[in-house]
């Protein structure tokens, strides 16, 4: 193990910024500050944390057979301003009683925000035109009618609406999460002229501090897409989805927060969202109405404490945290079995397997109480810490059968209730990546790493998350099943006859058909996982003042990257030698002590 030399080290920091610049997302700037302890609300006149970027369409996907002229004008450069004299003919949509006149535009990647429609000067100033605007995360969603078998909806954000255009001006429509926009003339009596259409992207202008590169470009792309998926969801609060589920779901936040630590370092969207949910949830109730989500709130706080080390912020959690932990400790029965009430939930695909859910909740409760013991010891509440320790020890005496549930078995392995190698061999690796979910797939990967089988975890990432990329994804989805793939069309094309619609024909539970979100932050787990396990960086003391670097390359030849800490970037490069051993170079900022060697201790994520 040698210290990395900055003069000869990796040059991967900034690669993702360059990619985003190529996508015309603008530059990144600034360094995040510290959270305000205990503050969840907003004040009058508070400045938005979001920056605005304008994105031009990249492709005309479709236009109606009749009634459209000069559609290609929408793909040419434009000043983004209504002008008295256009330099080229505008796009004209002329509907009739026999059919619509419309175009479908592709903006090249998933976006969150609005679309702006610019109109030129026409001869009939008093007659205002109307257009129907449909946003879509897939081509087929943008072409769909509301309702029906494929379940297109206007939940959370209006993605299908008719609006009136100004004369010689612009109209902003939205917001929503989208890549594709269909625009139809809504009035057969009047022609619509459009000089320009552009997307208005809104997201936090924060630098991508962390980075990851290896000899497998598919994994590199997956890391980047996971980072971008979370970035889009970093709005005023940390959302789970930018089209539907524009809400703060605490359990869903855990993979997102893990990705934020690995990519952005500190960002105030995390404490802001944690505090919002705390402040609207009495401790006698469960966060988001789900028992496990109150447990995830505790686990996220321990991760935040280890990564950022903000003592004042942790102290602000003490009253609520202590009361919640005392409530949770009472849910471990005298026999050690969990007695969790309320909605018993891990993730949607595992829900029918109630025995698997029970196994997962037992493990999650033990991990939460042990995290609570550590936090309350730090906060000087010895009584609550002892209560947590005693309840967790009782809970460790019970190991429920996961009943084939990969989600349940993964949590049992991470809690140390089930031997990780046994969990991997008997449950996690059975059927390969089939049976994963985009949410709890993160914990399956974590458990595989705990078992020492990083190669299988890398193969799962390539196969499962990579299949979404093969179908045209630029962000990761709310859910995905490999059984959907055979004979399915890509999301960036009109569905050919005889092909399945990967978006409209599938989905379940709350995400049937087009209600399915194709940009969901909980699906970003591989980004955090690759930084944690392949780069091998793990904080051991609050604020990353002591970290472990323990790379696991699996079947990779090399990997390099950066991991943010409050004191600066840790930069690493790992290369496999001819004898199979791994040579590591690293550079750590002043104030960060680095240890090396593996650590697979149970009881933490």
Binning pLDDT at 50, 70 and 90, where does residue 603 land?
very low
Q: How high is the pLDDT of residue 298?
A: 98
- Alpha carbon distance 155, 165 (integer Å): 24
If DSSP codes are grouped into helix, strand and coil, which group holds residue 75? helix
Q: How high is the pLDDT of residue 597?
A: 76
196 domain-assigned: yes
Are residue 387 and residue 424 in the same domain, yes or no? no
Binning pLDDT at 50, 70 and 90, where does residue 598 land?
low
12 domain-assigned: no
Are residue 144 and residue 223 in the same domain, yes or no? no
The predicted-structure confidence for 509-526, as pLDDT tens digits, reads as follows 999 999 999 999 999 999
Are residue 151 and residue 181 in the same domain, yes or no? yes
The answer to whether residues 545 and 506 touch, using CB atoms and an 8 Å cutoff, is no
The predicted-structure confidence for 19-35, as pLDDT tens digits, reads as follows 554 544 433 333 333 44
Are residue 184 and residue 124 in the same domain, yes or no? yes
The DSSP-derived string for 294-343 is HHHHHHHHHHHHHHH--HHHHHHTHHHHHHHHHHHHTTB-TTS-B---SB
- Alpha carbon distance 451, 281 (integer Å): 37
- Is pLDDT larger for residue 200 or for residue 18? 200
Are residue 223 and residue 186 in the same domain, yes or no? no
For residue 565, what is the domain's CATH number? Answer: 2.60.420.10
The DSSP-derived string for 234-294 is BSSSB-SBSSS--S--HHHHHHHHHHHHHHT---THHHHHHHHHHHHS-TTS-GGGBHHHH
346 domain-assigned: yes
Q: How high is the pLDDT of residue 125?
A: 84
381, 398, 418 — which closes off a domain?
A: 418
The answer on pLDDT for 10 being more than 50 is no
511 domain-assigned: no
If DSSP codes are grouped into helix, strand and coil, which group holds residue 231? helix
406 domain-assigned: yes
**Angle formed by the axes of helices 354-378 and 382-395, to 10°?**
150
484 domain-assigned: no
Which residue in the block uniquely carries the two structure tokens 């906060």?
379
The answer on pLDDT for 37 being more than 80 is no
The DSSP-derived string for 515-578 is GS-S-BGGGGHHHHHIIIIIS-EEE-SGGGSEEEE----TT-SEEEEEEEETTEEEEEEEEE-T
Q: How high is the pLDDT of residue 136?
A: 98
The answer to whether residues 328 and 371 touch, using CB atoms and an 8 Å cutoff, is no
- Alpha carbon distance 591, 545 (integer Å): 6
- Alpha carbon distance 27, 230 (integer Å): 18
Binning pLDDT at 50, 70 and 90, where does residue 41 land?
low
Mean pLDDT, the chain, as a whole number? 92
User: How many folded domains does the chain comprise?
Assistant: 3
- Alpha carbon distance 156, 158 (integer Å): 7
For residue 62, what is the domain's CATH number? Answer: 2.60.120.260
Span of 12-21, 426-435, 459-468, 581-590 with lowest mean pLDDT: 12-21
Are residue 448 and residue 533 in the same domain, yes or no? yes
Residues whose CB falls within 8 Å of the CB of residue 393, separated by 6 or more in sequence, listed in order: none
Are residue 426 and residue 544 in the same domain, yes or no? yes
Are residue 451 and residue 568 in the same domain, yes or no? yes
Containing structural domain, residue 157: 53-202
Are residue 70 and residue 123 in the same domain, yes or no? yes
Phi-psi domain of 174 (left: phi exceeds 0; alpha: psi -120 through 50; beta: other)? left
Which residue in the block uniquely carries the two structure tokens 């990796």?
10
418, 446, 469 — which closes off a domain?
A: 418
What is the distance between the terminal CA atoms of the chain, rounded to a whole angstrom?
Answer: 26
CA distance to 42, 358, 501, per residue, from 214 (Å): 42, 38, 33
Are residue 238 and residue 380 in the same domain, yes or no? no
Q: How high is the pLDDT of residue 26?
A: 39
Span of 27-36, 62-71, 291-300 with lowest mean pLDDT: 27-36
If DSSP codes are grouped into helix, strand and coil, which group holds residue 140? helix
22 domain-assigned: no
Mean local confidence (pLDDT), 121-141: 93
The answer on pLDDT for 40 being more than 60 is no
Mean local confidence (pLDDT), 299-327: 98
Are residue 579 and residue 447 in the same domain, yes or no? yes
Are residue 235 and residue 295 in the same domain, yes or no? no
The predicted-structure confidence for 328-349, as pLDDT tens digits, reads as follows 999 999 999 999 999 999 999 9
Residues whose CB falls within 8 Å of the CB of residue 182, separated by 6 or more in sequence, listed in order: 62, 102, 103, 104, 105, 132, 133, 134, 136, 142, 143
The predicted-structure confidence for 374-431, as pLDDT tens digits, reads as follows 999 999 999 999 999 999 999 999 999 999 999 999 999 999 999 999 999 999 999 9
Span of 29-43, 297-311, 384-398, 494-508 with lowest mean pLDDT: 29-43
If DSSP codes are grouped into helix, strand and coil, which group holds residue 436? coil
The predicted-structure confidence for 146-172, as pLDDT tens digits, reads as follows 999 999 999 999 999 999 999 999 999
Regarding pTM above 0.75, the answer is: yes
Q: What proportion of the chain, given as a percentage, has pLDDT over 90? A: 89
The answer to whether residues 540 and 595 touch, using CB atoms and an 8 Å cutoff, is yes
Q: How high is the pLDDT of residue 4?
A: 37
468 domain-assigned: yes
- Alpha carbon distance 371, 374 (integer Å): 5
In terms of Cβ atoms closer than 10 Å to its own Cβ (0-12, 13-18, 19+), residue 159 is buried
CA 568 from chain center: how many Å?
A: 24
The answer on pLDDT for 554 being more than 90 is yes
185, 202, 219 — which closes off a domain?
A: 202
The neighbouring-strand residues paired with 146 are 152
């Amino acid at each position: 193990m040698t210290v990395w030399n900055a003069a000869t080290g990796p040059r991967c920091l900034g690669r993702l910024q360059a990619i985003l610049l190529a996508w015309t997302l603008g530059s990144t700037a600034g360094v995040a500050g510290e959270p305000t302890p205990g503050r969840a609300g907003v004040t009058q006149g508070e400045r938005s944390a979001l920056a605005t970027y304008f994105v031009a369409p990249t492709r005309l996907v479709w236009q109606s057979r009749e009634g459209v002229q000069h559609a290609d004008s929408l793909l040419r450069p434009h000043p983004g301003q209504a002008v008295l004299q256009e330099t080229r003919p505008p796009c004209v949509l002329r509907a009739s009683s026999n059919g619509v006149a419309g175009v479908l535009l592709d903006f090249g990647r998933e976006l969150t925000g609005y679309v702006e429609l610019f109109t030129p000067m026409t001869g009939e100033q008093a007659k205002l035109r109307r257009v129907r605007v449909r946003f879509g995360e897939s081509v087929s969603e943008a072409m769909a009618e509301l309702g029906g078998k494929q379940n297109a909806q206007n939940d959370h954000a209006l993605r299908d609406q008719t609006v009136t255009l100004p004369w010689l001006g612009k109209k902003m429509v939205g917001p929503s999460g989208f890549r594709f926009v269909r625009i139809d003339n809504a009035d057969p009596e009047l022609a619509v002229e459009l000089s320009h259409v552009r997307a208005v992207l809104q997201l936090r202008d924060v630098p991508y501090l962390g980075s990851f590169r290896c000899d497998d470009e598919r994994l590199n792309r997956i890391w980047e897409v996971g980072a971008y998926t979370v970035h889009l969801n970093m709005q005023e609060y940390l959302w789970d989805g930018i089209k539907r589920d524009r809400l703060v779901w605490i359990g869903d936040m855990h993979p997102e927060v893990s990705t934020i630590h690995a990519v952005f370092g500190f960002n105030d969207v995390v404490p802001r969202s944690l505090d919002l949910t705390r402040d609207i949830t009495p401790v006698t109730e469960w966060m988001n109405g789900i028992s496990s989500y109150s447990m995830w709130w505790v686990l996220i706080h321990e991760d935040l404490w280890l990564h950022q080390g903000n003592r004042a912020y942790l102290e602000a959690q003490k009253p609520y945290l202590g009361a919640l932990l005392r409530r949770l400790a009472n849910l471990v029965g005298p026999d050690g079995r969990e007695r969790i009430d309320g909605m018993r939930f891990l993730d949607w695909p595992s829900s029918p397997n109630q025995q698997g859910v029970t196994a997962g909740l037992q493990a999650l409760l033990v991990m939460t109480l042990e995290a609570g013991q550590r936090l309350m010891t730090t906060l000087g509440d010895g009584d609550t810490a002892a209560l947590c320790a005693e309840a967790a020890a009782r809970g460790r005496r019970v190991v429920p059968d996961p009943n084939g549930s990969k989600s349940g078995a993964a949590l049992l392995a991470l809690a140390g209730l089930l031997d990780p190698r046994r969990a991997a061999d008997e449950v996690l690796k059975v059927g390969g990546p089939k049976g994963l979910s985009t949410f709890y797939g993160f914990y399956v990967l974590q458990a595989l790493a705990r078992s020492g089988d990083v190669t299988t975890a890398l193969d799962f990432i390539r196969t499962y998350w990579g299949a979404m990329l093969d179908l045209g994804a630029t962000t990761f989805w709310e859910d995905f099943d490999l059984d959907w793939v055979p004979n399915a069309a890509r999301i960036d094309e009109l569905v050919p006859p005889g092909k399945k619609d990967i978006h409209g024909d599938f989905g379940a539970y709350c995400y049937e058909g087009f209600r399915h979100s194709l940009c969901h932050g909980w699906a970003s787990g591989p980004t955090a996982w690759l930084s944690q396990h392949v780069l091998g960086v793990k904080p051991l003391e609050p604020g990353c003042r002591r970290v472990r670097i323990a790379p696991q390359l699996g079947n990779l030849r090399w990997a390099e990257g950066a991991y943010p800490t409050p004191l600066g970037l840790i930069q690493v490069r790992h290369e496999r030698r001819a004898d199979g051993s791994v040579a590591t170079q690293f550079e750590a900022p002043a104030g960060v002590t680095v240890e090396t060697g593996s650590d697979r201790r149970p009881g933490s994520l």
